[in-house]
Structure 1
Amino acid sequence: MSTWTKKVMFVGLPRYFEQILAACFRKEAWEVSRIAAGEGNLPQGIRTYDCTIESEEAKTVFAVQNLDLLIYRLERDPAHAAARLDALLRLAVGARVRRIFLLSNDEVFAPGTQPVETDAPAPQTETGRLLVRLESIGLTYRAQGAPVTILRLAELYAPGQTSDDGFIGRLFGAPLMRRPIPRYLATEEVSYGLLDARDAVFAVYQAADRGFDSSHLHIPAPQGTTIAELYQICSDFFPRMNAQEEPREPNGRAVMKSSLIEEQLGWRSRRPLAPGLKETWEAMEAARDAYVEDIREFSRLAWLGRIRLKMIPYAENLAGALATFGVSYLQGGSSVNSMTAFDFAFLYIGCMGLLYGKRQALIAAVLSLILLIVNLLGQGGDLVAMLYNPREFLHFVSYFFVAVLTGYFADRESYRQESDGRVKRRLQYRCSFLEKIFKENLAVKDRLYRQIVNSDDSIGRLYRIISRLDSVETENLFTQTASITADILDVNDVVVYVVGEGGYYLRQKVRLGKGTADMPRSLRVEDYPYLGEMLREKKIFVNRDLVQGLPDLAAPISYEGRVIAVLQIYHLDFEQWSLYQQNLLSITARLVSSSLGRAYEWEKETAGRKYLDETRILRAEEFRKVVEEFRERRRMQQDYPVTLLPIKVNGMTYSKLDHQIANSIRAEDFIGATPEGVSLLLPDVAGKTLDMVRERLAKAGVETEECQAL
Structure 2
Amino acid sequence: MKVLITGGYGFIGSHVAERFYKEGNEVFIIDNLSASRKENVDFKHKSYMLSIEDEKCSEIFRFNKFDIVVHAAALTNTPSDFPHKSIKEVQSNISGLVNMLTLSKKHHVKKFIYLSSASVYGNQEHISLHEQLDCSPDTSYGISKLSGEMYCKEWSDIHELSTLTLRLSNVYGPKQSSKRGVIGRYFHQALRNQELVIYGDGEQTRDFIYVEDVAYAVYRASNSNEEGIYNVSTNVATSINELAAMFQRLMPVSSSIQNKPSKEEDINHIVLDNAKFMKDFDWSPLYSLEEGLQRTFVYYTHQLAKEQIAASSSVAPVRSAETKENWRIILKKSMPTLENILAFVLTAWLTITYFNSTYGTIDVKIFYIVIIGLIYGNKQSILAVVLSSGLLIYQKIQDGREYVSLTYDTDFIFQVAIYLFIGLVIGYSVERRNIIIQQHEKTINDLTIKYHFLEDVYHEIREVKEELQERILNSSDSYGKVYGATKELESLEPEQVLTAAVNVIKNILDVPKVAIYTTDKSQAYLRLLTNYGYQPDEIIRSLKVAEYRQLQNMLQTKELFINKKFDPIYPLMASVIENNGQVVAIIMIDGLQFEQLSLYHQNLFKVTTDLISTELNKAFLYNNAMEEKRYWNNTELLKYEYFDSIVNSKKQALEQHDVPYMIVNAKLNGISAEDASYFIVQKLRLTDYMSLFEENVIRILLANTDEKAAFRVIERLVHEEITYSLYKEE
TM-score by length of 1: 0.52
Matched, 1:321 2:344: yes
Match of 1:194 in 2: 208
Match of 1:584 in 2: none
Q: Is the 8 A contact 1:353 1:403 kept in 2?
A: yes
3-state DSSP class of the match of 1:103? Answer: strand
Distance 1:135 1:317 in 2: 58
The one-letter amino acid paired with 1:249 is I
Matched, 1:204 2:227: no
Matched, 1:19 2:32: no
- Larger-Rg structure: 1
Match of residue 171, structure 2, among 156, 165, 170? 156
Post-superposition shift, 1:323?
2.3
Match of residue 542, structure 1, among 642, 645, 648? 648
Post-superposition shift, 1:363?
3.1
Alignment of 1:371-410 (within 5 A): 371=391, 374=394, 397-410=417-430
Distance 2:416 2:94 in 1: 66
Distance 1:250 1:385 in 2: 78
Distance 1:392 1:136 in 2: 70
C-alpha change, 1:354 and 1:7, in structure 2 (3 Å) is: same
Post-superposition shift, 1:67?
1.8
Q: Is the 8 A contact 1:10 1:71 kept in 2?
A: yes
Matched, 1:227 2:240: yes
Post-superposition shift, 1:194?
1.5
3-state DSSP class of the match of 2:272? Answer: coil
Match of 2:115 in 1: 103
3-state DSSP class of the match of 1:241? Answer: strand
Structure 2 unaligned blocks of 5 or more: 40-44, 77-88, 249-253, 489-502, 508-637, 661-730
3-state DSSP class of the match of 1:319? Answer: helix
The one-letter amino acid paired with 1:191 is T
C-alpha change, 1:19 and 1:393, in structure 2 (3 Å) is: same
C-alpha change, 1:86 and 1:327, in structure 2 (3 Å) is: closer
The one-letter amino acid paired with 1:102 is Y
The one-letter amino acid paired with 2:107 is A
C-alpha change, 1:38 and 1:427, in structure 2 (3 Å) is: farther
C-alpha change, 1:314 and 1:73, in structure 2 (3 Å) is: closer
Match of 1:418 in 2: 438
Distance 1:91 1:427 in 2: 21
C-alpha change, 1:16 and 1:443, in structure 2 (3 Å) is: same
Match of 1:254 in 2: 272
- Please give the per-residue CA displacement for 1:193-217, whole angstroms capped at 9, x wherever unaligned: 2122144324434555xx3445577
Post-superposition shift, 1:225?
2.1
Post-superposition shift, 1:226?
1.7
Match of 1:692 in 2: none
Match of 2:261 in 1: 243
Match of 1:64 in 2: 63
Match of residue 275, structure 1, among 294, 297, 313? 294
Number of residues of Structure 1 aligned to a counterpart in Structure 2 = 479
Structure 1 unaligned blocks of 5 or more: 1-5, 469-485, 491-531, 546-551, 554-572, 580-710
Distance 1:232 1:35 in 2: 39
3-state DSSP class of the match of 2:70? Answer: strand
Distance 2:276 2:317 in 1: 44
3-state DSSP class of the match of 1:272? Answer: helix
C-alpha change, 1:259 and 1:137, in structure 2 (3 Å) is: closer
Distance 1:577 1:281 in 2: 68
Post-superposition shift, 1:156?
0.8
Post-superposition shift, 1:405?
3.4
Alignment of 1:11-50 (within 5 A): 11=6, 15-35=10-30, 43=38, 46-48=46-48, 50=50
3-state DSSP class of the match of 1:251? Answer: coil
Match of 1:184 in 2: 200
Matched, 1:92 2:104: yes
Alignment of 1:572-587 (within 5 A): 575=656
Post-superposition shift, 1:12?
5.6
Post-superposition shift, 1:396?
5.2
C-alpha change, 1:352 and 1:123, in structure 2 (3 Å) is: same
Alignment of 1:495-506 (within 5 A): none
Distance 2:260 2:35 in 1: 37
- Please give the per-residue CA displacement for 1:547-578, whole angstroms capped at 9, x wherever unaligned: xxxxx69xxxxxxxxxxxxxxxxxxx954666
C-alpha change, 1:43 and 1:152, in structure 2 (3 Å) is: same
Distance 1:405 1:339 in 2: 26
Matched, 1:348 2:368: yes
C-alpha change, 1:98 and 1:460, in structure 2 (3 Å) is: farther
Distance 1:104 1:437 in 2: 30
Post-superposition shift, 1:351?
2.2
- Please give the per-residue CA displacement for 1:432-453, whole angstroms capped at 9, x wherever unaligned: 4444444444445444544544
The one-letter amino acid paired with 2:133 is A
Q: Is the 8 A contact 2:195 2:258 kept in 1?
A: no
Match of 1:357 in 2: 377
The one-letter amino acid paired with 1:225 is T
C-alpha change, 1:132 and 1:402, in structure 2 (3 Å) is: closer
Distance 1:107 1:379 in 2: 78
Q: Is the 8 A contact 2:120 2:137 kept in 1?
A: no
Distance 1:123 1:415 in 2: 52
Post-superposition shift, 1:267?
6.4
Post-superposition shift, 1:80?
8.9
C-alpha change, 1:417 and 1:38, in structure 2 (3 Å) is: farther
Distance 1:452 1:415 in 2: 55
C-alpha change, 1:466 and 1:324, in structure 2 (3 Å) is: farther
Match of 2:718 in 1: none
Q: Is the 8 A contact 2:112 2:163 kept in 1?
A: yes
Distance 1:425 1:293 in 2: 36
Match of 1:126 in 2: 137
Distance 1:390 1:112 in 2: 84
Match of 1:461 in 2: 481
